Amino acid sequence: MIKRNPTRAVRVGGVTLGGGHPIAVQSMCATRTQDIDATVAQAEAIRAAGGDLVRVAVDSAKDVEALVEIRRQTRANLVVDLQENYRLAAKVAPHVDKVRYNPGHLYHHEREKPVAEKVRFLAEVARQNDLALRVGVNCGSVDPEVKASHPEDEVAGMVASALDHCRMLDDLAFDRYVVSLKDSHPRNVIEANSRFASLRPDIPLHLGVTEAGIPPEGILKTRVAFEQLLSRGIGDTLRVSLTLPNPRKPEEVTVAREILADIAAGRFRSVPVFDDDRLNIISCPSCSRVENERFVELAQAVKEMTAYAQDHALTIAVMGCRVNGPGETDDADLGLWCGPTHVNLKRRTEAVGAFTYQEILGRLRQELDALIEAGAARRPAAISNTPNGQ
């Protein structure tokens, strides 16, 4: 048994998070939501692998229409991931068990409205439809006003954002929610969740290292965070976010169960410390927003091509979609975000250009060599994430 901090219980469909209940394992469908057959098949595969919750992305009215049929055909406890359009919550609510929203996205959508008003809308939708909410904070999409108030501490901004939204929900007498604080660096995940748990020990936490990347490195990063947090009693549900081809998505659940079993049995591995002294490649877990499935192959090819630069402290980010990719590559020394036919290449916030999938590796190598030659191998910023992600 893993020692657990006492958090309140939050029911999500047929599973309960927190309150001493077993740690729940989640994953997310990487299929296109409008491809009903594929999405149902993947949801069922995740459930069969031991997944307690299955997340799907909904970005449009057509996605909502597909969700109705997906709900009819699967026995999975469904979570919907809302991106920019928080108002879709009212349409998806009758068909899911939990809605995840990103506080940073609430800030950007309908800017003329106070964030508290948007939170009220989500809470009322959840209350009326017997739903739970997840406040999903990601370091790369923190409300810019909150982020600006903590210029020297990105983790503080993430924690402050989560606390703000908890306060808003509490003021509405809505307590059926969980919180996640995710980053692609395990150190930041550990620090953010530890800080939050010390301030709000009552709230169940969803753990994850977003954009952990390709196995085995992605598994190691995730294990680092999970071993450190779960051993302190922090965490009530979790997801392992790996860059995998669609047919292998249930492996996220298998890996999560293996990590949980090891911790419960006291089998702690000597985890590596990610001290930013070597090349760091991050990539998001594929999801339904990926517009070209070659993204997964590209992430693997980037890893292989850049092996010669392992001793240089640089970060390369490979992102799978235009929704999160542009912003989530801003802190990377070199960032790639993938469209249907081209891959966009950046040097931190500076756009280099768009290249075909055949061209991108050669151009990436040129840029990487230039950074190494210029002596830019320095301590890179921790890359933040997912809203998908994640």
Q: Choose the weakest-confidence range: 204-208, 271-275, 370-374.
A: 271-275
| pLDDT class of 140 with cuts at 50, 70, 90 | confident
Domain boundaries, the chain: 10-264, 280-373
Residues 180/205, Cβ–Cβ less than 8 Å: yes
Provide the pLDDT confidence category of residue 389 given band limits of 50, 70 and 90. Answer: very low
Lowest mean pLDDT among 53-62, 96-105, 327-336, 365-374: 327-336
Is 0.85 surpassed by the pTM of this model? no
CB 251 within 8 A of CB 205: no
Domain topology for 10-264: TIM Barrel (3.20.20)
Looking at beta carbons, which pairs linking 271-274 to residues 24 or more positions away fall under 8 Å? 271/220, 271/223, 271/224, 271/227, 271/228, 272/220, 272/224, 273/224, 274/185, 274/186, 274/187, 274/221, 274/224
Per-residue confidence band for 142, with pLDDT thresholds at 50, 70 and 90? confident
Residue 135 in this model has a pLDDT that exceeds 60 = yes
Q: What is the CATH number of domain 280-373?
A: 3.30.413.10
CA pair distance 65, 269, nearest whole angstrom: 45
Whole-number mean pLDDT of the chain?
Answer: 90
Q: Please check whether the two domains, 10-264 and 280-373, share a CATH topology.
A: no
Among 151, 149, 147, which Cα is nearest to 107's? 147
CA distance 321 to 340: 9
The stretch 181-202 carries a mean pLDDT of 96
pLDDT tens-digit readout, 30-82: 999 999 999 999 999 999 999 999 999 999 999 999 999 999 999 999 999 88
For the stretch 274-311, pLDDT in tens is 666 789 888 887 777 788 889 899 999 999 999 999 99
Q: How far apart are CA 303 and CA 216, in angstroms?
A: 12
- Tell me the C-alpha distance between 179 and 235, whole Å: 10
Please choose, from the candidates 166, 106, 159, the residue with its C-alpha nearest in 3D space to the C-alpha of residue 134: 166
